[in-house]
């Protein structure tokens, strides 16, 4: 009887310790966010919005690239590049599954037709960058973390490795899914499109527009605020010819393409559908992915996978170790800065939204409660299929986080760039991050219980 009692006490102590280990990292992040909320709250105004925007730019242009370069570059090798193949695949899988859930939400909740695609993409695309980095950093901050001494370096490397595919998805799938519907525009006789006046004052924009990808709205292209795909693919029978120009007219207006490919010659050799797809591809701003975090990722790949260069940059005895040490100090400011900016964003409160309460609740439930359950099944099946690195629990933890985080704050910036549903995105992101406090706590406890039982 005594042995049974001792076993029960040990089991209860172990369960209590697991609970503390899983909940403490989130409590640390919540404290940082609350500090940002207090500093940025309109009633206190201890720190103005301009300061938060400057801090977000520092995160984007300095702290995040330093973090990526230090930890990804030191960990990545040609062998690891191949072994980690499931990380980017998992980002795509989570987005595809999220799109299916978003479609179900749109069918069940029946939002206004103009928000149909918006509902799908807000459910599908989660935060795969700043928030997972903050969670991993907080989990690994304690010396008693359950993932070992290399926890922070490997966890950050895994999250950073997913960044490049996430950015590609932003400027392809997300960019076009957030396209304004044709009905959003008023078309007059001369073909000029009239839309809501966008404020040119940087301080008047919601903080969420600048919170994760500062300066995105300043990179507007000719067609970023127009329903480009609808104009290219919509048949002439449904709308008048004056309201939707032919693809050739879109092409002829582009001086870069018109001289080298005459309309008469191209029509002879290129099918109409191929031509329309090519026009959309040419108008997709893929060059915008070349930002500081992307450069840091590419540089980390190059340095990390070339041993002679890596030995010069990384390691205590490396000739350039003083540079990496300096960058590591800057990288340490990443997590607190991100959470302070998030708190400042939440301090602005929700904006007015025409999305509807039912659709908002549907997106929150699908994104924060249903998708993580599907993610557990996906990661479990991948593990059983031997797609994952054997015995690496941090690898599995990062994969699970990709299904658990709220919608990416970057979606608010895309909405602003496309000039559509900015208030709806702001309100939805606010409520998602509020309820994510509880959903993340629940699922992190579940993940710890699952993963630590195999350690």
Round to whole Å and give the CA distance between 402 and 371.
10
Q: What is the pLDDT of residue 147?
A: 84
Summarize pLDDT for 302-330 with one digit per residue, the tens: 999 999 999 999 988 889 989 999 999 99
Summarize pLDDT for 215-274 with one digit per residue, the tens: 555 555 555 555 555 555 564 334 444 444 445 555 555 544 455 555 444 554 556 666
- Output 445 or 44, whichever has higher pLDDT: 445
Check pLDDT > 90 for residue 214.
Answer: no
DSSP codes, 315-335: STT-TTHHHHHHHHHHHTTHH
Q: What is the pLDDT of residue 15?
A: 64
pTM: predicted TM-score of the whole model, two decimal places: 0.81
Round to whole Å and give the CA distance between 368 and 126.
10
Round to whole Å and give the CA distance between 363 and 381.
26
Cα distances (angstroms) measured from residue 29 to each of 99, 151, 429: 29, 18, 18
Q: Are 122 and 428 in contact (CB under 8 A)?
A: yes
Summarize pLDDT for 172-200 with one digit per residue, the tens: 878 777 777 766 554 433 444 434 444 44
Summarize pLDDT for 146-168 with one digit per residue, the tens: 788 888 899 999 999 998 888 88
Backbone angles phi, psi at 448, to 5 degrees: -60, -45
Round to whole Å and give the CA distance between 54 and 211.
10
Region class of 153: left (phi > 0), else alpha (psi between -120 and 50), else beta: alpha
Round to whole Å and give the CA distance between 128 and 170.
11
Structure tokens given for 188: 């007059």
* Distant-in-sequence contacts of 368-373, Cβ < 8 A, 24+ apart: 368/404, 368/406, 368/432, 368/435, 368/436, 368/439, 369/439, 370/101, 371/94, 371/97, 371/98, 371/101, 371/123, 371/126, 371/403, 371/404, 372/400, 372/403, 372/404, 372/439, 372/443
Q: What is the pLDDT of residue 204?
A: 56
In this prediction, residues 417-428 reach a mean pLDDT of 83
DSSP state of 128: -
Closest CA to 406 of 352, 342, 452, 354: 342
Q: What is the pLDDT of residue 13?
A: 44
In this prediction, residues 408-436 reach a mean pLDDT of 85
Which residue blocks in 215-271 are alpha helix, DSSP H? Answer: 228-233, 247-252, 263-269
Q: What percent of the chain is modeled with pLDDT above 70? A: 72
Q: Structural domains in the chain? A: 56-182+288-453 (1.20.1530)
Q: What is the pLDDT of residue 50?
A: 83
């Amino acid at each position: 009887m005594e042995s049974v009692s001792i076993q029960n006490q040990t089991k209860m102590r172990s369960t209590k310790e697991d609970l503390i280990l899983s909940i403490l990292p989130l409590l640390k992040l919540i404290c940082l966010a609350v500090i940002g909320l207090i500093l940025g709250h309109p009633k206190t105004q201890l720190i103005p919005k301009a300061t938060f925007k400057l801090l977000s730019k520092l995160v984007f242009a300095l702290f995040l690239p330093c973090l990526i370069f230090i930890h990804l570059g030191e960990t990545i090798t040609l062998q690891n590049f191949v072994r980690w193949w499931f990380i980017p695949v998992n980002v795509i899988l989570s987005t595809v599954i999220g799109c299916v859930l978003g479609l179900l939400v749109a069918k069940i909740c029946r939002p206004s037709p103009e928000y149909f695609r918006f509902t799908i993409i807000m459910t599908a695309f989660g935060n795969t960058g700043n928030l997972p980095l903050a969670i991993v950093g907080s989990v690994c901050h304690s010396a008693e973390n359950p993932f070992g001494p290399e926890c922070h370096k490997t966890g950050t490397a895994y999250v950073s490795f997913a960044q490049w595919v996430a950015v590609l998805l932003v400027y392809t799938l997300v960019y076009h899914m957030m396209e304004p519907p044709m009905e959003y525009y008023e078309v007059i006789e001369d073909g000029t499109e009239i839309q809501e006046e966008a404020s040119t004052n940087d301080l008047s924009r919601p903080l969420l527009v600048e919170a994760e990808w500062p300066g995105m709205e300043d990179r507007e292209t000719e067609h970023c605020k127009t329903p480009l795909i609808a104009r290219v693919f919509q048949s002439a029978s449904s709308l008048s010819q004056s309201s939707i120009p032919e693809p050739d007219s879109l092409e002829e207006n582009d001086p870069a393409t018109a001289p080298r490919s005459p309309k008469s010659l191209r029509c002879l050799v290129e099918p109409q559908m191929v031509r329309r797809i090519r026009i959309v591809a040419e108008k997709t701003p893929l060059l915008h992915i070349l930002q500081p975090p992307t450069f840091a990722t590419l540089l980390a790949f190059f340095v990390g996978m070339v041993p002679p260069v890596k030995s010069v940059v990384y390691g205590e005895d490396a000739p350039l170790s003083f540079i990496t040490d300096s960058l590591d100090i800057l990288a340490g400011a990443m997590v607190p800065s991100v959470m302070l900016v998030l708190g400042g964003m939440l301090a602005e409160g929700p904006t007015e939204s025409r999305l509807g309460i039912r659709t908002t609740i549907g997106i929150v439930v699908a994104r924060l409660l249903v998708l993580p359950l599907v993610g557990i099944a996906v990661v479990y099946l991948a593990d059983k299929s031997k797609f994952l690195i054997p015995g690496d629990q941090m690898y599995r933890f990062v994969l699970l986080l990709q299904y658990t985080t709220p919608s990416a704050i970057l979606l608010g910036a895309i909405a602003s760039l496309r000039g559509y549903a900015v208030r709806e995105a702001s309100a939805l992101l606010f409520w998602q991050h509020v309820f994510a406090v509880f959903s993340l706590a629940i699922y992190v406890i579940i993940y710890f219980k699952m993963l630590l039982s195999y350690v």
